[in-house]
Amino acid sequence: MDNLTTCDRCGSDACYVQEVNDQIKNYMCYGCGFITNSLMKKGEQFFEEQFHVLPSLYKELCVEDEETGMVWMPNTINIPDKGMVFADGTRAENWSWAAVKAVPMPEEEKEQFKEKGKDYEYKMDMETMKHFNERDFMEALDYIGVFEN
């Protein structure tokens, strides 16, 4: 069952809940841009594996829900033909959402990747980077065209 609920992290009414099975639910808040799931609890193997590979900023931004024990972390959205939204900054006190648009990859760059066994049509254009406040995650998604048909 999928539905919208109130986010336990930020209080937004735009938290999408997806029930994977009886034990696992995924939570993705479009208000604050943070995600969690039933397995994202300190001590759980799944959480420890995820946490180990996170960038330091993401680790700093993680917050544990006192009631559920689930840890909320910033989401990263990467849609190859649209763009990317990610947490950007040096410290938890100084960060924002960054959004960059995808652009068609020039033929000469495509060939270089094909020689390495990779086939890409688009690349992220860092010159289009725009920053958004924490509660403007949906605006960052809109900037890269997520809501366009």
pLDDT, tens digit (0-9, with 9 covering 90-100), for 27-85: 999 999 999 999 999 999 989 999 999 999 999 999 999 999 999 999 999 999 999 99
Residue 105 pLDDT class (50, 70, 90 cuts)? very high
Residue 1 has a pLDDT of: 56
Residue 113 has a pLDDT of: 83
Please provide the average confidence, as pLDDT, over all residues in the chain: 94
Measured between alpha carbons, how far is 32 from 26 in angstroms, rounded to an integer? Answer: 15
CA distance readout (Å), 149 to 21, 42, 66, 145, 146: 30, 39, 39, 9, 8
Residue 127 has a pLDDT of: 97
Q: How far, rounded to the nearest angstrom, does the alpha carbon of residue 136 sit from its chain's CA centroid?
A: 13
Mean pLDDT of 116-126: 90
Of 123, 124, 119, 142, whose CA–CA distance to 132 is shortest?
Answer: 142
- Give this prediction's pTM: 0.90
